[in-house]
Amino acid sequence: MPEITEADLAPNVKALYLKAISAVQTNNHGYAVKLLQSVLKDAPTFLGGRQILRNCESIVVGGPQKGSKIFGIKTGGMGLGRVAGQVKKDPAAALVMIEEVLEKDPYNPEANDLLFEAFNAMGLPDHAAFALETVRKGHPEEAKPLHKLAEFYLHRDDPGKAADVYRDIIKHHPTDSTAIKGEKDCTARASMQKGGWSETASMADLQRNKGEAAELDAASKSGLTRDQLEDRRDRLILKYNEDPNLLPVVKDLAGIFEQLEDWANAHTFYSWGFSLSNGDVALQTKAGQMKDKTEEQQLKDLEARAASNPDDPEVQALLAERKATRTAEAVEEAKARVDSNPTDPLLRYQLGMAYYNSGDYSNAIPHLQQAKRNPHIQSKVLLLLGRTFKAKGMLDMAAKQLTDALADLIGMDNVKKEVLYEKGLIHEQMGDQQGALDSFKQIYEVDYGYRDVAQRVESSYGG
């Protein structure tokens, strides 16, 4: 049974199809669904019609449905288990039964999987791919059907599409080792296809590429001026365009974009580097940091715009909405990073900070306590932990955290000044004026201009 196009439709079926298209153009999507179902009963291998039908159904039901992945869901009194038996006996006859389910839930993973099996049995590969691509669009977090789709593309010798599917899996399941390896292998195969290479490419070619990569990786990236960084970036981009899968080049580009404070591109290349690597957690962490910096920069730009337009209610509302959204996003992103690497104290600190910024102080505390295991960030962790206890009104415990932080701080750097200032404020809030003054004096002795310590110290002398 061959796949057909609009040109292959019988005159009466084509008239019905054109009527459906007219309904779509007038936003009468419910009517278009009924017409297209009739078209497909007469022309079941008309892929274009089925694609439009699925779009119309999605508009009518309002997109992917929650819980649609539950097996055995019944639609119109017909369980999908019964449909599965029909697919094995008569796949063509099963199409109508499956479409009854998809009319109410077009992205249903199980129904689309049955549709895939039916089309595969009928020798309709484009239709089969479309069925699982529908799941990929509506439920990209569903790893099982996406793995099936990637393998299908591989069997069709289309590693480029398979690599794309594996990347989508990795986005939602960053520790999926099969997807990580599959994406890397498929990307390499796709690159060889594009370059006309065989899998038995000469060792001389492979060694030359490897040598170039090592040279790039070993090149110094420190102490360069901005012009030198930009020149190096441009030369690396040429290398990247020749082979976007050379990990040392991708990592080098990511680092240069980071030095140039081009956070968006740094995020892109660190993310791509993580995809190319065998699950390199350091690259994943860098990608997350660059994403945070990108969004921080966007927020700063919006704050500047709001400051320049204080009487514009739309800008002010947009800023407030963006701040609220960013705070919620920061918590979810930090939680995801901790879930993927729960033993990393730095990620715990970042999650604790995200909870603190969202006002969820109780949830911040256990993560900050775990973050104290890293001695390199311990002082910052204790400072934030002190502020968290302060926000909960637990002033004595807040002061204790800051005292612990000071024990590890020798020189009067910015962190120590911040800890002392916060400790002074807490003593002041506790009614301990002498304790507060002792903290402020330590800063005053080395940095007269730090915040308002000069005014606080001098006023205590009556000056």
> Per-residue pLDDT for 74 more than 80?
no
**pLDDT on residue 66:** 65
Residue 463: predicted pLDDT: 54
Q: What is the CATH number of domain 6-139?
A: 1.25.40
Mean pLDDT across the stretch 306-332? 83
Min mean pLDDT across 143-152, 211-220, 361-370 is at: 211-220
pLDDT tens digits along 201-237:
443 444 444 444 344 444 444 457 888 888 888 888 8
Tell me the pLDDT band of 304, cut-offs 50, 70 and 90: confident
Q: CA–CA distance from 180 to each of 141, 265, 277, 279, 375 (Å)? A: 15, 22, 8, 7, 32
Q: Is the pLDDT of residue 197 over 50?
A: no
Task: Give the Å distances, CA to CA, from 349 to 110, 293, 324, 352, 361.
Answer: 40, 16, 21, 5, 13
DSSP SS3 for 278 = coil
404, two tokens: 């612990």
Rounded distance, CA 98 to CA 77, Å?
Answer: 12
Q: Are 430 and 389 in contact (CB under 8 A)?
A: no
Helix (H, G, I), strand (E, B) or coil at 447: coil
Task: Tell me the pLDDT of the chain averaged across its residues.
Answer: 85
Question: Does an H or E element contain 79, and which?
Answer: strand 78-79
CA dihedral 287, 293, 298, 300 (to 10 degrees): 170
- pTM to 2 decimal places: 0.44
Residue type, position 125, single letter? P
> Angle 91-104/47-61 helices, nearest 10 degrees?
30
| Confidence check: pLDDT of 366 > 90 | yes
Residue 63 falls in which region: left (phi positive, over 0), alpha (psi -120 to 50) or beta: left
Cβ of 397: how many Cβ atoms within 10 Å?
15
